[in-house]
Every structure is written in structure tokens, then in C-alpha cells.
Amino acid sequence: MTTRDEGIIEFADWLLSPPGRYLLAWEQSSIDHAVADVFGFHALQLGLPQLDALRANRMPHRWVAHDSLVVPQRAELPAPREPITTQSPNLPVALHCDFDALPFPNQSIDLLVLPHGLELARDPYEALREVERVLVPEGRVLIVGFNPASLWGLRHRVGSMRDRLRVSRRPGFLPHAGEFIGYWRLRDWLRLLSFEVEVGRFGCWRAPVRSQAWLDRWAWIEGVGERWWPVLGAVYIVMAVKRVRGMRLVGLARSEKSKRQAAPVVAHRSRETVEID
């Protein structure tokens, strides 16, 4: 088993902890609302099979891809407050592929969701370039990642530093699954690949504690953090649309007035002269 597979197992085990389940519940609810109104025919989820990122989407063809032989079981989350209905009862099809070499043709996917997919990828930037390749023009990508500038990220760095210095054997607060990509860094990457960010928000402002009791005590800070220091949330979600330069969408005319009026035809008729005897 490779080091990367061990990191994926560690990530899956961390999601079963109280802070992991709290984070996973927030991500599931946020993704459900983000993808519910995205229409098309083909949707793809990259990474984190413990989370059903496409359950609220109504596209007929859906896939869940992972690039490791280690596939953890999907976590059991509490049912959403609002019922989720889908037009297709079929579950997403599981695929095994590399995130930087997706087995899809160019411009064939309408929606692509990466719940911590870039953090789990071998090469995050190459994976994002592959996302741009398979998305159709005006297709959408939804990315979820840890915020290294949050209190959770700060505690994780302190714990990792102590572990490297052998001051403490306790590992960092967050799982060591890959590189954490900052929010503004991700926006720069998307801009370079001709994406336009439509939605960007943060979540999970509770203190970085490990017990469920202390997490419940910090529940009051959710509303305060969302209003006064949103960029300090432990996780962020970004929705971006793929723009293609020089492309013009052609649709049906909305009214008859918008149609170009044809120039009137002027007919000349010679005047006939009738002689009466």
C-alpha cells in the first residue's frame, strides 16, 4: 500500500470523527443546494465517495470516480430537512481512473463536482486542466476544499510542526490527504483556465475541537462567523462556469418584433391607355 493510499484511509477515518461528521454534513447540505438547479445530461463527481455530491441533481447520467484502489464506504449522514427529489432513480456509476487523465472526450460533461478532489489528486493543477478539457462550454465545476487560513488550518499546522519536531506524537488536526489549496490561489488557477467564479462561500466556523460535546457548545458561532468573519471558515465551496472566447449562444427569438423586417418591394406598373371610339 502506497503512502497516498494510507492518506486516503486516514482521510476516511477522520471523517468518522465528530469534527469530520460535522464537516461532512455541512458540505453535503451546501452541495445539495448548489447542484440542484444545474441542468444538462452528464454529471461527474471526483473523489470522496463517502459523500453523495450528485444526489440532488437531476441529470440522467451520473458517475463517481476515484483514483485509488482504496474505496472507503459512504458515511451515513442525517437526512436533510428538505426532501430531495430526482427525476432519475438510478444511482451514480462508480469509475476508477486518474484525475489527470479522465476517460471522457473533450467537452462532454455538463457538471463536475470535486469534494476535496484536488487535495486527493496526484497533481492538483493538472487535474484542474483535465476538468477544463472535459467540461462543455458554459459547463460548471464545483470545488470543495479545506481553508488553510482558518483556525482549523492553523491548529493543523501547529500539530504537524510538533509532530515533525517530535515534541508531541499527536498528529495534526486535519487529515494528511494532500496539499491544502488556498481559496485565492484556487481562484487564480480558475482564472488562468478561463473559468468565471459564480459562487464562493465559506463554512464551519466552530472551534477546532475533537469532542462532540465541545462542538455542540460552539454551535452559536455559526451565525456570527458567517456574518463577521466569513473567510475564517474551515472549508470553502467554489462554483465556476467555463467560458469560451468567441462563442455566441444562439436561441429562438422571443418575439416577432425582434425579427428583422424585410424591405418593402416596390413594383412599377406601366399605365395603360384605353381609347374609346
pLDDT at position 144 is 96
Distances (CA, A) of 182 to 24, 122, 179, 272: 19, 17, 10, 87
Q: Give residue-wise pLDDT tens across range 211-234.
A: 999 999 999 999 898 888 889 999
Q: What is the CATH number of the domain that holds 39?
A: 3.40.50.150
Closest residue by Cα to residue 213 from 13, 76, 19: 19
pLDDT at position 78 is 44
Residue 95 CB: number of other CB atoms within 10 A? Answer: 16
In a domain, 265, yes or no: no
In a domain, 259, yes or no: no
- DSSP state string for 74-85: PP-PPPPSS---
In a domain, 257, yes or no: no
8 A C-beta contact, residue 241 and residue 195: yes
Q: Give residue-wise pLDDT tens across range 116-154.
A: 989 888 889 999 999 999 999 999 999 999 999 999 988
State the residue range of the domain holding 95.
Answer: 3-248
CA distance 162 to 206: 23
Give the number of domains in the chain: 1
pLDDT at position 80 is 41
8 A C-beta contact, residue 247 and residue 137: yes
In a domain, 183, yes or no: yes
Give 190 or 97, the one with higher predicted confidence: 190
In a domain, 264, yes or no: no
In a domain, 27, yes or no: yes
Instruction: Judge whether residue 266 has pLDDT over 60.
Output: no
In a domain, 260, yes or no: no
Q: Give residue-wise pLDDT tens across range 42-100.
A: 999 998 888 999 999 999 999 999 876 555 555 454 444 443 333 344 567 788 888 88
Rounded to two decimals, the pTM is 0.79
Closest residue by Cα to residue 107 from 72, 135, 149, 126: 135
In a domain, 30, yes or no: yes
